[in-house]
Amino acid sequence: MNNLEVIDITSLSGTEYAYLPYTGFILNKQLLQSDSRRSIEYQKLEEKYKREFDKSLTPATPEEIEFYIKRFGFQELILEVTTGCNLRCEYCIFSGNYNVQRRHGKSNAEFKDLKKAIDYYYSQLKMNRLFNVNRRPTVAFYGGEPLLNYKAIKQCIDYIKEKYSEFDTFFTITTNGTLLNEDIMKYFIKNEVWLVFSLDGDKTTHDRNRKRKDGKGSFDEVFANIKKYQEMKKGIVFINSVYDYKTNLQDVIEFLFHHKNLANLSASMVNPYGTNYFDSFSEEDVRKFVRNYSLLQNMFFKQLKDGGYRKNPETSTLNLIVGKPAMSILLRKQIGMKTNPFFPFTGACIPGEKIFVDINGTINPCEKIGKGMTIGSSDEGLNYINIANYVNKFQIILKDCFDCKYRGLCSLCYQAFWDGNRFLKDQKNCNASISNIRDALSLFVSMSELQPHWIDAYSSDFFETIQNLELSLL
């Protein structure tokens, strides 16, 4: 095992494991050390995948990028329909706390301009249908608060359904929920628009960060509309939530436990990249959060150990908060294989896999990147020369990653490196990523010791619930 490159993992019980970064195997370290023949076999298998994984970064040509996007791109069209918002959430990326993001605006997109982006998107789907016959169009409406421009959203949906009826388009909107009325709800339900509400939890938790312009909390308005929407839809309502170091996650879990009609799709920490948001928290805030998080972790472990994890309604939210990091890091890539032909590691996509069209008609890789990383326009389409240039510049900063044994599990993308003009590597982001990887691996083996089938159980239970409600998740 001396020549076998591994990531050492220790479970909470003290058992030592070895994670093999190329094949993705997790092995008991003691057993591996005691069996030299098996150790050699694993080493040969690792070397086989390493040769493929660690091929030199080859500069991409515009032609190669175009061929890749034809096969795997255009997965989603995200339309920025407004730069405005009627709330002023403390952690919003448009609050002024993020370096490369715009500020809150007042502009609404006009349908004639959105139509250009729509026509370009569907023209590419038609043209490249032979490359991916099963590709289903997804159109998302983004803001600001998208419903400030509901008129344009409705025009877009009606237009797509009429002109591109040959496609089974999936429509989705994430909303703060304050501007919904009965007519809008009826329209979204009739047209099968997948609506996701931003709800951080109970009233105290939600109102601390998600505020109106006058500083008052938005919970009462949002929750009233959620209840009305749930009654009209006659099914569960999807939400996502965000937390920070002052969030009491136990209160969030109890709130969701008592509102079983809410399905939390995502519970995540505030975006940490390029922001001064976290400067407002004290060391005591962080220590208190870590202590409370440890209590939730112990609660989750107890449910796993006692075998009641499939019967306890609290478990789904606990798993989302505690267990998801362990699942995500191991399921993101299969046996350490690279995700695309241009980057052997990191979580970066190839710009064009999905396209974000801002209010000016500029095409960007996604809604999270911020300003400056332009890859085309709704008038001219994707600029494959620009995309190839970004890919090749990103490859340059990856060259010193070859010496990092955590590279195959790294999920950092452009967002962690883009400063508005160029890619820069900040070692603090790398160190944080390594720490998260180590914690997630330790969590995974600890949970697997307590309940070997927990991943299968949670996955099957989740989808069974959705199927029983005759809903479809994509």
Entry field: residues in the chain: 474
The pLDDT of residue 107: 97
pLDDT in tens, the chain (474 residues): 557 789 999 998 999 999 988 888 889 998 888 888 888 888 888 888 877 776 667 899 999 999 999 999 999 999 999 999 999 999 999 999 999 999 999 999 999 999 999 999 999 999 998 888 889 999 999 999 999 999 999 999 999 999 999 999 999 999 999 999 999 999 999 999 999 999 999 999 999 999 999 999 999 999 999 999 999 999 899 999 999 999 999 999 999 989 989 999 989 999 999 999 999 999 999 999 999 999 999 988 888 888 765 555 566 778 888 888 887 766 654 444 456 789 878 889 999 999 999 999 999 999 999 889 999 999 999 999 999 999 999 999 988 888 888 988 888 999 999 999 999 999 999 999 999 999 999 998 998 898 887 766 655 554 454 444 434 333
Check if the beta carbon of residue 202 is closer than 8 Å to that of residue 222.
no
Instruction: Find tokens 């509901």 and name the residue.
Output: 150
Amino acid identity for residue 316 in this structure: S
The pLDDT of residue 470: 37
Question: Helix-strand-coil percent breakdown of the chain, rounded to 5?
Answer: 45, 15, 40
Say how far apart CA 275 and CA 92 lie, in whole Å. Answer: 11
Q: Is 154 exposed, middle or buried (0-12, 13-18, 19+ CB in 10 A)?
A: middle
The pLDDT of residue 379: 96
pTM of the model as a whole: 0.91
Residue 162 — left, alpha, or beta (φ > 0 → left; ψ -120 to 50 → alpha)? Answer: alpha
The pLDDT of residue 220: 98
